Structure 1
Amino acid sequence: MEDYEYKPPDRRAQCIIDALRVIQNQRIQHDYAVKECAHFIIPRKSDMRAIETIGNTHVELKAYANLFTRAGRSACQKLASGLFSYMTPKNQKWFKITTGDRKVDENIKVYEWFDHVRDVMLDHLARSNFTEISHETYLNLGAIGTVCTQV
């Protein structure tokens, strides 16, 4: 790891900008692979253009017409459905809230209060679009291998 020395604010800003450019250039191949996976496995999320611009590079995606089987899409859908039904089932209390302190958690009033809070949270999640977003999250996880969801 390089040593960081004091640099005037404008010099530090330029160093950060330069580091960002290096990272962006290193990401280009990864971005292409992610877009290609999305193109074939979850094509409705792909913008379906034959030429994609990533950074300053133009890359040609394989044509959607070359997709001869639904195996990837079907497998991703099954994986997402399985993850959804086991990790966030709609008909079960799939998480619990604790203080992290066993002695405090064993207090019946604390337990009942956290149980009530969990029920309120589950009720709010059921009335929101959390179910749909969760399934989309699991689709992205299966197709691309990474995901970010803001709740």
Structure 2
Amino acid sequence: MLRQRTTSLTLPRVLGLALLVAAALPVGLAACAGNGAVPPPEVTPRSLVVESFPAEAAEESPPGPPIEGMTNAIVDATVRPARLTVTMWGTPGCMPYPVSVTWYDPWTVHVTTAPSDETRCAPDHLAVSQVVVLPVDHPADEVRTVRVDDASVAFAFRQ
């Protein structure tokens, strides 16, 4: 004949089990954190923009404001260090902004942008110029191509 055995949970057993779990939980969490299981906090890329203004107010000739939805650039080698003005369309406060400017080769400047984290965007859609300083790895007067987020853009050169 089979007998069924039951175990009753008494208050001392429940308290002992609770203490065991309470002691093991911080150790387990620390082990997960030490092994990279907890993702690092998100870092917002830093803007490289030294000046920003509506494209209509800029004295940019050529190319002036780009066609809506397009991007253009002006390399200004008359100043040291040389500056690059990138003009693109967007809403004030929500424009993508340059976070990296590098030389792709001696003739090509590559700009990488990041989306704005602003949540209160204006309803206006306009061309905004953002100025960044060019890296001094190569002479700015040799620029033949400007790329913004891997797309070649129309550009003008000022010497």
**TM-score normalised by structure 2 residue count:** 0.19
- Structure having greater relative contact order (Cα 8 Å, sep ≥ 6): 2
**TM-score normalised by structure 1 residue count:** 0.19
Larger Rg belongs to: 2
Which one has the bigger helix percentage?
1
Which one has the bigger strand percentage?
2
